[in-house]
Amino acid sequence: MLYDQHIHSRYSQDGSASIEEIAQQAIVRGLRGITITDHLDFCEAEIGYHFYLEHEAQRREEFERVREKYADQLEIGWGIEVGHPYFMTDYAKDFLSKRSFDFVLGSVHFLRDQSDIYLIDYSQPQEVDRVLKEYFTDLLALLEFGGFDSLAHLDYPLRVMKGKIAEPTVLPYREYIDPILREVVRQDLALELNTRGFMDWKKRQEPEDWVLTRYRELGGRKITVGSDAHTLSAIGGAFDQAAQKLKALGFEEISYYRNRKPFPILL
């Protein structure tokens, strides 16, 4: 009985399903709960920034209606995935302080020059290395800014590096990743296990095993699980595999968030 805590609805510019369709699908999948985490990338180069704000009232209205309608079958949380709030620190602080979410995911999708990690040309091997180093450095900046509950898809750039990197691993960047994990633990945040990687070329959860093991060694216990679904079929995807993996790595529970507070679910 798992919670899917990373789902995009049609209120993300790259999502398609209504919140009601998502709720119905989650019930069919037998999930105990879901959190809708539409995108708000704090970045002028990103259309999703305006898209979120323009649809915010409508999103809330649909959310309230659906939450009430399915209250006896499914818990539905009010969440958001914020990208690089350090691009607009004052605005991001103001935005987050004026709203109450159940759960906030923190992400980096764009580099400092406002280039979209998904759209960079990785045909030159040095680009792979440059982007990964910059990306991990920016994750530390994200943690320094704070304001979120769980660090999303720690090895996100690998999604678009198929054929450009020999193996789907970030092990060569261990010296960059260690301080990130230490900071997640120090701030008592959660680390996300994103199941999307099971469905893409990596054929494994994001992040990979050694990262989860290292997080645990450093004292990290809070894990949130999310599919990062942008379509109905992806909701709750590979959750059995995720639970098995976490147990095999020594984790005993996952966390879900309500009113920005973690609650445990035993695995």
Q: How far is the CB of 231 from Zn ion (least distance, A)?
A: 12
Three-state DSSP state, 266: strand
How many residues sit close enough to Zn ion to count as binding (CB under 5 A)?
Answer: 3
C-beta closer to Zn ion: residue 46 or 216: 46
x/- mask, Zn ion, residues 159-198, rule CB under 5 A, reads ----------------------------------------
Site for Zn ion in 52-91 (CB under 5 A): 81
Query: What span, in angstroms and rounded, lies between the C-alpha atoms of 241 and 205?
Result: 9
**Which residues in the 217-236 window bind Zn ion by CB under 5 A?**
228
* Gap between the Cα atoms of 147 and 136, Å rounded: 18
Instruction: Please choose, from the candidates 153, 136, 129, the residue with its C-alpha nearest in 3D space to the C-alpha of residue 205.
Output: 153
Q: How far is the CB of 41 from Zn ion (least distance, A)?
A: 9
Q: What is the DSSP secondary structure assignment for residue 201, as one 8-state letter?
A: T
Q: Write down the least CB distance from residue 241 to Zn ion, Å.
A: 19
- The radius of gyration of the chain from alpha carbons, rounded to an integer in Å, stands at 17
Residue that is written with structure tokens 């789907």 in the block: 168
CA 76, CA 68: separation in Å to the nearest integer?
9
Q: Interface with Zn ion includes 206 (CB under 5 A)?
A: no
Between 103 and 216, whose beta carbon lies closer to Zn ion? 103
CB nearer to Zn ion: give 145 or 216: 145
Shortest CB 248 distance to Zn ion, Å: 25
Cα dihedral sign for 3, 4, 6, 10?
negative
Least Å distance, CB 135 to Zn ion, is: 12
Helix (H) or strand (E) holding 33: strand 33-41
d(CA 250, CA 248): 5
Least distance in angstroms from the C-beta of 6 to Zn ion:
6
Which has the closest alpha carbon to 81: 149, 30, 171, 130? 149
One character per residue 97-116, x = contact with Zn ion (rule: CB under 5 A): ----------x---------
- Can you give the binding site for Zn ion, defined by CB under 5 A? 81, 107, 228
